[in-house]
Amino acid sequence: MRYISTRGAAPPAGFLDVLLAGLAPDGGLYVPQDWPALTPGEIAAFAGAPYAQVAADILGRFAGDEIPPAELAAICARAYSTFTDPAVAPQRQIGSGRWLLELFHGRTLAFKDVAMQVLGGLFEHALARRGRTMTIVCATSGDTGGAAAAAFAGRAGVRLVILYPEGRISEVQRRFMTTTGAGNVRCLAVAGDFDDCQAILKTLFADQAFARQTSLAAVNSINFARIAAQSVYYFTAAAALGAPKQRVAFAVPTGNFGDVFAGWAARRMGLPIERLIVATNANDIVARALVDGDYRRAAAVATSSPAMDIQVASNFERLWFEYAGRDGAATAAAFEAFAGSGALRLSDAMRRAMNEVFTGVSAGEAAAAAAMANAFAQDGALVDPHTAVALAGAEGVALPRGVPLVVLATAHPAKFPDAVAVATGTIPPVPPAVAAMARRPERSDRMPADAEAVKAYVREFAE
């Protein structure tokens, strides 16, 4: 299995190289040179199979012959043994034809754990095999950082630096990052928003001399291994509802577009997904692009769903590349121009093609709060604000008769107790992981939204 860059100027690379590199050297994002394809029989066989087994099957198709199957199976088994539900990603019915896919049973109570725990094992395997150490730099809008800290704390050969927007994430999200006590984990509270953190991350990787000097790596969803691991729960959820004979729709709360692109990847591999509902909050750059073709950056607005407070959705470049006929030069020109102007226009043909699969929706604070209240009143389900955005956004989307809708529940409600309590009048129960974390001391350093300052910090830590 070989991987190419969305910008067309990087040589094809193998899975382990892509895993450790994250971003391609030409500034693009890696995608498979040829997408794996699953038969209907292979998809049907996932129904009732252990989650770790399905994950090893799917990831094995992306890894090719670079990881022995037995080793990959062991990595997946260890990763998912940490989840509090034996199904890893169980589904709960909420009303007729609607299901919640609970992705918050991992160590930091968010969907990012599903991929990040596997990434921790993959990195450890790859670095040990190559006798290397690396510095991972991660930009987070809330959940990625905590999941990365839980996955990499104490692992040999890895240093982890997490950038998060100061004051723009919940206390529980912050504590999952800042209380590991691990000597190989550092957290930086950046004076800015998530887009500032993400821009700094890209600047660090663009400086190839710095990246080489510090052995830089990334575990944000720019890392294709994250996309591959997240595609697994689309397969398990759909198979449980009757796929491939039954088509299934998904509603996905999104900011950086990685989770939605993982759904598109599953569809590209043969999963019969009827529709992907792309649900955004007030930071609706992706929804606007899908509705009227206007992919335009604006100032990020702080909301009760902070992991989605993003105005530059990195993974949208992967989708653009696929719908531009995999034209790397055209994709490079488009996104290099976007980096300067903050605006990109989809052609009518590209937008119509995307709309055959995607529906872009946006839900404001009032709609999300109402969705939280309704879910609790009607089904006894407490959902977090991000999941509520997907529930609210899906309300106006018509699906063919008999097609079930799976709403991705991306975070435990206890991560956002204030918002949930205001909307429902009920304080979510505190899981043991949150209670234990509240007693640990925090460690975090403040940093201006300045790439050179962050470089100096990372360089000193790496040395």
Distances (CA, A) of 79 to 9, 72, 90, 276: 35, 11, 16, 27
- Which of 239, 286, 282, 236 shows the shortest CA–CA distance to 258? 286
Q: What are the E-state strand segments in 237-369?
A: 248-253, 273-280, 294-296, 343-345, 358-362
Say whether 245 is catalytic. no
Task: Quickly list DSSP for 273-289.
Answer: EEEEEEEE-S--HHHHH
The answer to whether the beta carbons of residues 251 and 279 sit under 8 Å apart is: yes
Pairing of strands 273-280, 248-253: parallel
Distances (CA, A) of 215 to 85, 210, 449: 36, 8, 22
The answer to whether the beta carbons of residues 103 and 114 sit under 8 Å apart is: yes
Give me the amino acid identity at 231.
S
Return the structure tokens found at 111.
Answer: 């969907």
Query: What is the C-alpha separation between 119 and 121, in angstroms, rounded?
Result: 5
Give me the half-sphere count of Cα atoms (radius 13 Å) on the Cβ side of residue 369. Answer: 11
- Which of 88, 84, 64, 85 shows the shortest CA–CA distance to 76? 88
Selecting among 112, 202, 415, 455, the annotated active-site residue is 112
Q: Give the residue numbers annotated as catalytic, written as ranges.
A: 112
